[in-house]
Amino acid sequence: MSATYAIGDVQGCDCALAQLLDRLRQAGDPDPYLLFVGDLVNRGPESLASLRRMKALGDTGAVVLGNHDLHLLAAAHGIRKPHGQDTLHDILEAPDCGELLDWLRQQPLARMHEGHLVVHAGVLPQWTVPQVLALSREVEDVLQGPHWLDFLAHMYGNTPEQWDDSLRGHERLRCIVNALTRLRFCDAGGRMEFQTKEGAGAAPPGYMPWFEVPGRKTAGTPIVCGHWSTLGLVMRPDLLALDTGCVWGGKLSAVRLHDRALFQVDCERYREPG
């Protein structure tokens, strides 16, 4: 059986990904199972190649969606204006764009693999593992259904800041998406803070990294995530944080799940032409 490697945010850096996969094969695993933690595309120079590579994995890999992946879906349908740093044009102009976007919106926001809970950003402290997976499925059902464009049109915003089981409709879905794809800091009650993007030591007063909240109900399950490049690599029994800033000139990281072996390649900082 092939070993599973969890891989941090690629963000369209397909050359770095190809180098990392060569590294894995050189380490003795010719057919690794690849598990991507989201932000597959955007900001790097080869978003189209990255997306095609991941779609082609079929049963030999899996992904969860990150905020940049959702942004691609929204930008492709005129729901969200492209940002100046976006590098999505190669996807949007590709002959297989529709096929790629359809594949992307079939992907989940959370999944379990080999006893690990995989999300892009984080989970709220009051959520159990079964609840995370159930809430993820709520979003997946809408994203894969006939009203998915209406969902995307109402997806953006920082409220509600805190989860409540009584939330319904767009507010409920937005809160789920924000936690699973954008979360860095929250308070002990799970109130989310989205302004601070620095490392763990920059927590605003009353807030802390989501994985440090006392009594977090997912604490007994190892979580694999990305999203937080300023946090850097974290490898501890209950957490693998794998966004090591590939697109910003850092590294692209992979961790073999069964023994926590780390594999990395150095990356050149991508700069927009001109």
pLDDT value at residue 274 = 43
Which domains, and CATH codes, for the chain? 4-266 (3.60.21.10)
pLDDT value at residue 82 = 83
- Residues 98-119: b if buried by 16+ CB within 10 A, e if exposed: eebbebbbebbbbbeeeebbbb
Residue 272: pLDDT band with limits 50, 70, 90: low
pLDDT value at residue 133 = 98
- pLDDT tens sequence across 30-41: 889 999 999 999
Higher per-residue confidence, 81 vs 13: 13
- pLDDT tens sequence across 56-66: 999 999 999 99
**Are residues 39 and 245 in contact, defined by beta-carbon separation less than 8 angstroms?**
no
pTM listed for this prediction: 0.96
- pLDDT tens sequence across 78-126: 999 888 899 999 999 999 999 999 999 999 999 999 999 999 999 999 9
**Are residues 139 and 147 in contact, defined by beta-carbon separation less than 8 angstroms?**
no
pLDDT value at residue 83 = 84
Average pLDDT over the chain reads 96
CA 51 to CA 25: how far, in whole Å? 21
- pLDDT tens sequence across 187-228: 999 999 999 999 999 999 999 999 999 999 999 999 999 999
CA 74 to CA 206: how far, in whole Å? 33
Write the CB contacts of 173 (distance below 8 Å, at least 6 apart in sequence): 138, 139, 142, 151, 154, 155
Q: List the one residue out of 22, 24, 19, 18 whose CA is nearest residue 6.
A: 24
Above 70 in pLDDT, residue 172? yes
